[in-house]
Amino acid sequence: MEHIVYLNGALMPLSEASLSPLDYGFLYGYGLFETMRAYSGRVFRLEEHLRRLRWSAELLGISTPLIEDLASAVYDTLEANRLANARVRMTLSAGRGEPIPDISSCKEATLLVTAREYTPHSDEIYQAGYKAIISTTRRNSASPVSSLKSLSYIENMLARREAVSAGADEAILLNEHDSVSEGSTSNIFLVSGGNLSTPAPESGLLPGITRGVVLELAAQAGIQATEHPVTTADLMGAEEVFCTNSVIEIMAVTAVQHQQIGTGKQGPVTEQLHSAYRMAIASETKS
């Protein structure tokens, strides 16, 4: 069956969906996206994703009457593709404008939703964890763009390419002060002395929805969690390191730059939080 996508209010086969080459998403990376997971037909923390998208769109001056119907756009796309367990991407750009850098020339935003079946990694992969490298690219903590999930994603893509070339699964980006910022497509957590820590937004990162859920779950479990600057030495010396995003959920990082972290496999705090995360999914995505 051909993929069905949602584009600007309508569902259509992917082959019939087309964008203007003058879309500002394409010309200038001027837009936003969200990546979400559907479990048994329900999208986990959908409202939080949509709230972030709406807030960021306001900041970029992108408005669309479709902004009220984002949740239906997501569910209609899932249903049209008969998907229950899926990875969903919503993309919002400023839409078509003149090919000169002038946002005021954009009249109508572009809203796209795509969904693909998603099969989670095996338990073996979660046990073994990810190997990470430290990217040569640095995050800019002084840029307002670092806190937006924008279509100007080339830095993240280059960091990912670096990881793939090195045979690793994820690339960790430092900021201009040599402090850990985030993974190329994830947030980073450390466990030290049984406590949790993660870089604060001031380190130049995108505070992910999953990151927020992990902080909530840690509080519920009585695990002390703080947001503060993290050095590479903190990372290397941690008992456990893990990374989070909406797709992989919570994944142990068991090596950084070929150096083993902790025991070299998923640690107990990581496992405990991932169990709690899956329980939250189960309870919140019940039909």
Q: Which residues are catalytic?
A: 149
Q: Does 257 bind a copy of itself (CB under 8 A)?
A: no
Helices 46-60/209-220 angle, 10° precision: 130
Burial of 100 (0-12, 13-18, 19+ CB in 10 A): exposed
Cβ-based nearer residue to a copy of itself, 13 or 264: 13
Q: Does 14 bind a copy of itself (CB under 8 A)?
A: yes
CB 202 within 8 A of CB 166: no
Footprint on residues 81-110 left by a copy of itself (CB under 8 A)? 87, 89, 91, 93, 98-104
Cβ-based nearer residue to a copy of itself, 88 or 238: 88
In which order are the strands placed within the sheet that holds 110-117?
10-13, 4-7, 110-117, 86-93, 31-39, 42-43
**How many CA atoms within 13 Å lie on the side-chain side of 159?**
23
Of 222, 217, 150, nearest to 242 (Cα)? 217
Q: At closest approach, how far in Å is the CB of 103 from a copy of itself?
A: 6
268/239 Cα distance (integer angstroms) = 10
Q: Does 18 bind a copy of itself (CB under 8 A)?
A: yes
How far from 2 is each of 12, 14, 101, CA to CA, in Å?
10, 7, 36
Footprint on residues 131-170 left by a copy of itself (CB under 8 A)? 136-145, 148, 150-158, 160-161, 164
User: Which string of x and - marks every residue 43-62 that binds a copy of itself (by CB under 8 A)?
Assistant: -----------------xx-
Looking at 18-26, 122-130, 220-228, 268-276, which segment touches a copy of itself (CB under 8 A)?
Answer: 18-26
Give the footprint of a copy of itself on this chain (CB under 8 A).
5, 7, 14, 17-23, 25-30, 33, 60-61, 87, 89, 91, 93, 98-104, 112, 114, 116, 136-145, 148, 150-158, 160-161, 164, 176, 184-185
